[in-house]
């Protein structure tokens, strides 16, 4: 039937050793492709596929990260671990995309995602 457990303590570590304290939602797009339906004038429907990177939208606590350096960093590997479920996610050859926005009222950083060439999942 598949795993019915979600949430709990989730950590994200870069291959550089840097650990991010995630906050809020962790949204992952790991299919590597998005599909769009296109309707033709005769009413038939075609599917248009667009290749895309494996990616994860992240928000985390501002702990003094140098965002300029993070945005310019070489590619790195990212490991996301779900302690509660035992699931691990591996993004290989990743880099940061987006525009980091720091909310100084609550210390949350939003507007960033990681994009990678490869993604693997281990169910523990």
3-class secondary structure, 26: coil
Question: What per-residue confidence (pLDDT) applies to 70?
Answer: 93
Name the one residue in this structure whose structure tokens are 């790991």. Answer: 30
Question: What per-residue confidence (pLDDT) applies to 16?
Answer: 87
Q: Distance (Å, rounded) from C-alpha 39 to C-alpha 17?
A: 48
Report, as an integer, the average pLDDT of 101-120: 96
Task: Find all residues with CB under 8 Å of 16, minimum gap 6, and list them.
Answer: 73, 76
Q: Distance (Å, rounded) from C-alpha 58 to C-alpha 44?
A: 38
Question: What per-residue confidence (pLDDT) applies to 36?
Answer: 98
Residues 14, 95 contacting (CB under 8 angstroms): no
Question: What per-residue confidence (pLDDT) applies to 6?
Answer: 83
pLDDT tens, residue by residue, 34-78: 999 999 999 999 999 999 999 999 999 999 889 999 999 999 999
pLDDT tens, residue by residue, 1-42: 556 888 888 889 999 888 888 888 889 999 999 999 999 999
Question: What per-residue confidence (pLDDT) applies to 124?
Answer: 73
């Amino acid at each position: 039937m598949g795993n019915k457990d979600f949430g709990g303590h989730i950590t994200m570590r870069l291959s550089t050793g840097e650990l991010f304290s995630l906050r809020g939602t962790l949204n992952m797009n790991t299919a590597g492709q998005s599909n769009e339906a296109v309707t033709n004038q005769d009413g038939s429907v075609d599917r248009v596929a667009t290749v895309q990177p494996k990616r994860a939208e992240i928000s985390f606590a501002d702990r003094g990260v140098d965002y300029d350096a993070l945005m310019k960093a070489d590619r790195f590997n990212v490991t996301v671990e779900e302690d509660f479920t035992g699931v691990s996610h591996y993004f290989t050859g990743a880099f940061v995309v987006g525009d980091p926005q720091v909310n100084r009222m609550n210390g949350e950083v939003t507007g960033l995602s990681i994009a990678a060439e490869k993604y693997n999942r281990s169910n523990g």
